[in-house]
A and B are shown apart, each in its own frame.
Chain A
Amino acid sequence: MTLIQVTDLRRTFEVRRKEEGSRRRHRVEVEAVRDLTFEIAAGEMVGYIGPNGAGKSTTIKMLTGILVPTSGHIRVAGVDPSRNRTALARRIGVVFGQRTSLWWDLPLRDSFDLLQKIYRTDPARHRANLAEFLELLDLGELLDTPVRQLSLGQRMRGDIAAALLHDPEILYLDEPTIGLDVISKGRLREFLRSLNRERDTTLMLTTHDLQDIEALCDRVIVIDHGTQVYDGTLAGLHERGGSTRTLVVDLVDEVAPILIAGAETRRVEGPRQWLSFPADASAAPLVAALASSYDVADLSIQEPDIEDVIRELYSRPPAG
């Protein structure tokens, strides 16, 4: 069943810009999003990625009804978001990564209580959801702590619980893991996976972190300069973008560039060497091969950068 349907979506902004050589500011029309068409089925988990300023937030804001499209059509759960914003709000949950919708000076509990009232969630349902989310998100002990005293990670979990208490069919997450430490990120991903599994909640998230996508999304939509440049699996994206991961190896001694099957040595600096290998290949056999023929002191793996992947996507001719 199609839950989100976007057809020929376009949004422009008028901005004033100083042009070179001229002291006057001119009005320029900028296309934040253009010719966007995609469908998302109920129960999907879709990563929506792209560089800064690509139009990710603009799209999410149109899908939630905050911004009115310049042209094109959107149907979310059967309605036009900007015309039925308030009604649609009951059926969706939204989390904007860097701002909170919780009450700064009051305990978490108060924000949750208010949400129950303004969403008019059935009280029993609310209690059950709250108990479950407190458990899964490890918020139980923080319920009576004023929001201003929570850490960024705790607040983000609080915001996610707040966005889910009314059983939304769709959850939009705008940069949910930004600024979080590795453990918080991991927990959050685990929670979102179980949410999708247990409740069949449709998830759409924008992110800078490819690991979010790897952990969560079967499908990725890539947008750049307002247009869609890719729609498919993450593996397919890596393949098309030819993206690579990097194995950073610290050896005990300085040696000649490592020669090993399945990887390519890119850089050597003293005892440290950088080896790149295809992003969809496993690192384990490489590490094993390395350890058997070299004295390895330390290892780390660098994930491909979204910007790099997208750059690659452009520099290669489209395959097929």
Chain B
Amino acid sequence: MLHTAVASRSFRRYSTYVGATLAGIFTNSVFGAIMCFVYIEVWAANPDAGGYDVTDAVTYVWLGQAMIMTVAVWGGGSPDDLAARIKSGDVVIDFYRPVGILGWYLAADLGRAAYHLLTRGLAPTLVGGLLFDLRYPADALTWLLFAIAVPLAVVVSFALRMLASLTAFWLLDDVGPRTLLGFAALFFSGLTVPLVLLPSLLRDVALALPWATFLQVPADIWLGKTTGLEVLGAYAFIVAWAVVLLGACALVLQRAERRVVVQGG
């Protein structure tokens, strides 16, 4: 109950920035359109590059635009709030709350993700659907399978962002780790280019890393590349990363609690 309240408060907090949301939708749509024209040219020259056809590729572009803010590829969301509180020393209050820090911030981030999915996820996809021929999930089950994969991906992304923010306990400034994480996420999520286009060795590595859950794995469910029992395998992959990374967060938090630094105290 408490966590639902935290999530919905976070959802409402983001929904007050209407101007920012509209501006973001516009920007996502522009970038989506640019990349579509490029990919159309690429797939015209090589019609089955990476096992995708041109419709798959164009759809992938818009799924990518939809996921940028939803899984917060660039960073942001509730871990940023935590980093700010670590720097200001307010984090002490979080430690004295009767609920776990991790659950609290995860709920807040899921609330944010829900808002971003409904606005900055949905709207550019609609724009993309108007401008280009897209492929939609083949049946209701595929829609459902995709819909399950997205929040799981948010959890993985949350845990990674959280780890970057937690470094602020030691570095007192988390911009550096966040920049490095942003770099890894931008490339290994498949946002720069679809992971299926990578040279084979690099592709295998990329597909095993946690960032693959951000875009490539859900996109392949949507496009019908991952079907049947393979979907369970995909879920197991995402859940395994979520568990490992959340576990790491919990460990780090425990150590941080022992050495809480109160700035300027």
Cα distance A148–B89 in the bound complex, in angstroms: 13
- Chain B neighbourhood of A2, CB < 8 A: none
Please, which residues of chain A bring their CB within 8 A of the CB of B263?
A: 148
Chain B contacts of A98 at CB under 8 A? none
Distance to closest chain B CB from A227 (angstroms)? 34
Question: Does A70 reach chain B (CB closer than 8 Å)?
Answer: no
Interface size class of B (residues with CB under 8 A): under 10
The number of chain A residues with a CB under 8 A from chain B is: 2
Cα separation A150 to B264 with both chains bound (whole Å): 8
**Chain B residues, Cβ within 8 Å of A149:** 264
Q: How far is the CB of B228 from chain A (nearest CB, A)?
A: 50
Distance to closest chain A CB from B168 (angstroms): 15
CB contacts (< 8 Å) of B264 on chain A: these are: 148-149
Q: Mark A135-162, 1 if CB is under 8 A from B, else 0.
A: 0000000000000110000000000000
Proximity string of chain A (36-53) to chain B, C-beta cutoff 8 Å, 1 when within and 0 when not: 000000000000000000
B-contact bits for A261-292, CB 8 A (1 contact / 0 none): 00000000000000000000000000000000
Cα distance A116–B264 when bound, in Å?
28
Task: Give the Cβ gap from B93 to chain A, nearest Cβ, in Å.
Answer: 20
- The CA-CA distance from A148 to B263 in the complex, in Å, is 9
Beta-carbon contacts under 8 Å, B125-149 to A: none
Report A319 CB to chain B, min CB distance, Å: 49
A148-B264 Cα distance, complex, nearest whole Å: 8
**B residues in contact with A148, CB < 8 Å:** 263-264
Shortest Cβ distance from residue A309 to the other chain B in the assembled complex, whole angstroms: 38
A85 to B263, CA, bound (A): 38
Separation in Å of the B174 CB from the closest CB of chain A?
15
A142 to chain B, nearest CB (A): 14
Considering the chains assembled together, what is the distance between the CA atoms of A19 and B263 in angstroms?
A: 45
Give CA–CA (A139, B263) in the complex, Å.
22
Residue of A nearest to B263 (CB): A148
Select from chain A the residue with minimum beta-carbon distance to B87. Answer: A148
Give complex CA distance A149, B263 in Å: 9
Q: Shortest Cβ distance from B115 into chain A, in angstroms?
A: 22
Within 8 A of B (CB), among A115-150: 148-149
Closest to B173 in A: A105
Scan B188-230; emit 1 where CB is below 8 A from any A CB, else 0: 0000000000000000000000000000000000000000000
Distance in Å: Cβ of B263 to nearest Cβ of chain A: 8
What are 3 inter-chain pairs, A to B, with CB distance below 8 A?
A: A148-B263, A148-B264, A149-B264
**A-B CB proximity, top 3 nearest:** A149-B264, A148-B264, A148-B263
**B residues bordering A, Cβ < 8 Å?**
263-264
